[in-house]
Structure 1
Amino acid sequence: MKVTINDIAKQAGVAKSTVSRYLNGGRISQKTSEKIKRIIEEHNYEPNSFARSLKSRKTGFVGVVAPALDSFVTSKILIRMDEELRTRGYTTLISNTSHSIEREIESLQNLQRQKVDGMILFATELTPAHFELIESLTVPLLIIGQETDQTHCIVFDDFQAGYKMGECIASAGHKKISYIGVDETDVAVGQRRRKGIETACRDNGAEDIQFFRSGFDFDSAMLAAEKSLEHSQASAIICATDTIALGAMRVIREKGYRIPEDISVSGFGGYTVSKMIHPSLVTVEFDYQETGYLAASTIVKLMQSEEVDQLQRPHFKIREGESVKGKK
């Protein structure tokens, strides 16, 4: 079985970038250097000379693959990231995939053929095709939004964010709660955020929690909200995103209910529109400026074979609003 750089990094207990730096003559500690050398010799590992030659030819381009450019979250991070990369002398090449996994993989492959110096992927799902591609890449890859030990990632702490929101709603006295979330294939939002919410609700005395599945779009959010109102007597609806929350608020009003007097609503995202509406939305506000800066600085360090933490988590906070009864 052919040994990869990723295998060597795991056995040595170091980041993939550290092994790359060793192979390219970069500076690392004597102890780490000897450990990597021993593992390479044990497995008779031979670096791909073509891949190494590609790394030595700098183009000044960073490829960025995003599922949707009209996303509030993506656009906020992209703007800050692009600004920071420009100050460091890099130009971004952006590819929009319209939520197509096939186009996502194809875009990453095309960017590598164009010999970009590094790539950033805004991921909503990681599939076997992604992991296969990661193994074949000859340039650094940074993933935003999902977590894997195969490459460097910037991921919001969705469990803790979910826990804080669940705690906020349950501590306001709500015992029957609906959660409108997304499919579990999205590990960060679909699994960890939901788990955080459910754990906090139960820790704070709210045992009756019903789940309703939605997509990320406004229309499916409205359909899920209608199902919630039909099948639940919840006094609060927690929504996985602000877009879903806005869809739910529209349905609640159309059905003749008042927010928050009859039903409280909260979201995740901290969108600008969420504080412009009335009642303003209680939501988790992630630090997108920090995320964009981290993304730019991290990919530059990786392209320069510098040591970087494999997992980084930007900050978040609960943004107060008027949409939850008992919360201002």
Structure 2
Amino acid sequence: MKVTIKDIARETGLSLATISKYLNNKKIQEKNRLRIEEAIAHLNYKPNRTAQVLRSRRTMTVAILVSDLGNYFWGTIISAVSQFFVNYNYTVITCSYSHDTQIERELLQDLIVRKIDGVIILLANLLDDRYRLLQAENIPVVALDQNPVTAGHPPVDCVVSDNYNGGALLARYLLKKGHQRVHILDPAYYSSPVSERIQGFRDVYEKAGISSITYPEPIVFSTNQNAINEGKRHFRQLMESKESPTVIFFTNYLSALGGLMEAGTSGCSIPGDLSVVTFDDDPLFRSMYPPITSLAQNLSLIGETASRILYRRMQGDYSDFPLTRCVDVSFCERQSVRDLTLDMK
């Protein structure tokens, strides 16, 4: 026998009006929300999606727009977003534009035609007119991994990692270990997160009166594979050059992956010949020999935080717009950094 909202009401002791508010994503008391969700799970209630759409005039659909699905980081965030919205009976669709701005524009137009309820954009590099395109249709947007406000875009909600303080934390750690000659791989100044990481790192070294930091030329990545190959190439060039850094700082996951692959094939001993740190963590870095010291982004929390903001906007709450949420990073000390202070004793 099909379960109805009357069964939910009997199970919870709540009124049909309260059950209806919950099913239509309206605000109710937290204790009532928990009781309803327990009853839905217990009774295996399946809401009528068509009826919901007709009542609310919503499509009950949220989109995630991502530059490239090949980056494992996006998968963790997408999973967190999907887990959040399934609790509110939303369908989450993922769209990849493969770093192609024309595909990106076409996807946005398609989402507007579909009357999507909200959009989360990963690696937010949309131009002003594209943000305005969504805003003109009253479609809420939350941007991740880049602050569009600081990047010169129109005001928009965003969720970012604490990139500046993360870079500063790594710098203080390396100074404590006696490292004064640093090579930073992959400035990628087009990316505000990477620029903030480097700025935080440089500020600590400059405050300590140390200026021996070197960079390769700026890199603009078009694909994940290209990013890995560029990491390989720059590491190889560093080994062949006359530079003599004691440590290399990889500013993101993909460049680190390429550089560490090249280190393995070139016979470079880590940390004997060269110490290594990276911004971004990965299970692979933990299983390498030696395991790599890194800063980890809380990707699940980033996805959940973005979802909560987007959900509020879809309910019409713009009381704190535009909102920027900065998520803490975690320092993971492992065995890829040589303690040079021991050599001085």
Q: Which bracket does the TM-score occupy, shorter chain normalised?
A: 0.7 to 0.9
Aligned-partner Cα distance in 1 for 2:210–2:134: 42
Aligned-partner Cα distance in 1 for 2:97–2:332: 31
1:1-328 paired onto structure 2 within 5 Å:
57-149=57-149, 150-189=155-194, 191-212=195-216, 213-214=218-219, 215=221, 217-229=227-239, 230-306=241-317, 307-308=319-320, 310-326=323-339
Aligned position for 2:40: none
Aligned-partner Cα distance in 2 for 1:325–1:184: 28
TM-score by length of 2: 0.74
Q: Which runs of 4+ in 1 moved over 6 A?
A: none
Aligned-partner Cα distance in 2 for 1:284–1:200: 17
After TM superposition, the structure 1 stretch with the greater mean CA deviation from structure 2, 119-128 or 92-101, is 119-128
Q: Check whether the contact 1:124–1:146 (CA below 8 A) recurs between aligned residues.
A: yes
Letter in 1 for 2:192: V
Question: What SS does the aligned partner of 1:262 have?
Answer: coil
Structure 1 position 320, deviation (Å) = 1.2
Structure 1 residues 276, 176: closer, same or farther in 2, change over 3 A? same
Question: What SS does the aligned partner of 2:291 have?
Answer: coil
Structure 1 residues 126, 117: closer, same or farther in 2, change over 3 A? closer
Question: What SS does the aligned partner of 1:228 have?
Answer: helix
Aligned-partner Cα distance in 2 for 1:199–1:223: 27
Q: Check whether the contact 1:302–1:308 (CA below 8 A) recurs between aligned residues.
A: no
Structure 1 position 154, deviation (Å) = 0.6
Letter in 2 for 1:296: S
TM-score by length of 1: 0.77
Aligned-partner Cα distance in 2 for 1:121–1:325: 39
Structure 1 residues 102, 170: closer, same or farther in 2, change over 3 A? farther
How high is the sequence identity, in percent, across the aligned residues?
19
After TM superposition, the structure 1 stretch with the greater mean CA deviation from structure 2, 235-244 or 211-220, is 211-220
Structure 1 residues 237, 296: closer, same or farther in 2, change over 3 A? same
Q: Check whether the contact 1:238–1:266 (CA below 8 A) recurs between aligned residues.
A: yes
Aligned position for 2:32: none
Q: Check whether the contact 1:124–1:186 (CA below 8 A) recurs between aligned residues.
A: no
Aligned-partner Cα distance in 2 for 1:143–1:134: 12
Question: What SS does the aligned partner of 2:143 have?
Answer: strand
Question: What SS does the aligned partner of 1:84 have?
Answer: helix
Letter in 2 for 1:272: P
Alpha-carbon deviations, 1:87-113, whole Å to 9, x = none? 121111110111223322322221111
Structure 2: 5+ residue runs without aligned partners? Answer: 1-25, 28-55, 150-154, 341-345
Letter in 2 for 1:154: V
Structure 1 residues 161, 297: closer, same or farther in 2, change over 3 A? same
Structure 1: 5+ residue runs without aligned partners? Answer: 1-25, 28-55
Aligned-partner Cα distance in 1 for 2:334–2:137: 45
- CA RMSD, 1 decimal: 2.4
After TM superposition, the structure 1 stretch with the greater mean CA deviation from structure 2, 228-237 or 86-95, is 228-237
Alpha-carbon deviations, 1:248-283, whole Å to 9, x = none? 223234333210011001111111111011111111
Structure 1 residues 253, 182: closer, same or farther in 2, change over 3 A? same
Q: Number of residue pairs matched? A: 275
Question: What SS does the aligned partner of 1:155 have?
Answer: strand
Aligned-partner Cα distance in 2 for 1:277–1:308: 44
Aligned-partner Cα distance in 2 for 1:314–1:89: 27
Q: Check whether the contact 2:134–2:140 (CA below 8 A) recurs between aligned residues.
A: no
Aligned-partner Cα distance in 2 for 1:254–1:123: 31
